[in-house]
Amino acid sequence: MFGVKAELFKTLAHPTRIRALEVLADGERSVSDLAVEVEVELPHLSQQLAVLRKGGLVDTRREATTVYYAIRDPLLVDLLAVARRLLISGLEGSTALLDDLRAEDMP
């Protein structure tokens, strides 16, 4: 069981993947829309989405030539939120980093 958990965290262990999942937490996105919101080149995003897909964290659907991604299990959104709260809690002494994390939560 520990190995399975480690694989989950290895799948999450990339800034682009985390950012993509945080965007997908708000709902399904096309790959092109996701690339704009995540602010990465499409080839790089596609590589990272493939890792998330292989890890079973996202689902895809195709509509004509457009591929859409969505988070497979809403518990992943909870995990991302807990991770953010854990980081904020641990960074109380570092106001610059804390301000950056809080700013990401602003609409």
Q: Are residues 7 and 49 in the same domain?
A: yes
Look at residue 95 in the predicted model and tell me its pLDDT. 72
* Angle formed by the axes of helices 95-104 and 75-90, nearest 10°: 150
HEC-encoded secondary structure of 42-73: HHHHHHHHHHHHHCCCEEEEEECCEEEEEECC
Q: Are residues 42 and 54 in the same domain?
A: yes
Q: Are residues 2 and 50 in the same domain?
A: yes
How many domains would you assign to the chain? Answer: 2
Q: Are residues 26 and 65 in the same domain?
A: yes
Q: Are residues 59 and 86 in the same domain?
A: no
CA distance 20 to 104: 14
Domain hosting residue 36, numbered range = 1-72
Q: Are residues 65 and 20 in the same domain?
A: yes
CA distance 99 to 94: 9
Look at residue 30 in the predicted model and tell me its pLDDT. 97
Task: Give CA angle at 74 (73, 76), nearest 5°.
Answer: 80
Q: Are residues 27 and 38 in the same domain?
A: yes
Look at residue 6 in the predicted model and tell me its pLDDT. 94
Q: Are residues 85 and 58 in the same domain?
A: no
pLDDT values of the chain reduced to their tens digit, one per residue, 107 residues: 899 999 999 999 999 999 999 999 999 999 999 999 999 999 999 999 999 999 999 999 999 999 999 999 999 999 999 999 988 887 776 776 667 778 877 66
Compute CA 91 distance to the chain's CA centroid, rounded to the nearest angstrom: 21
Q: What is the pTM of this model?
A: 0.83
Q: Are residues 38 and 8 in the same domain?
A: yes
CATH number at residue 38: 1.10.10.10
Q: Are residues 50 and 102 in the same domain?
A: no
Look at residue 105 in the predicted model and tell me its pLDDT. 72
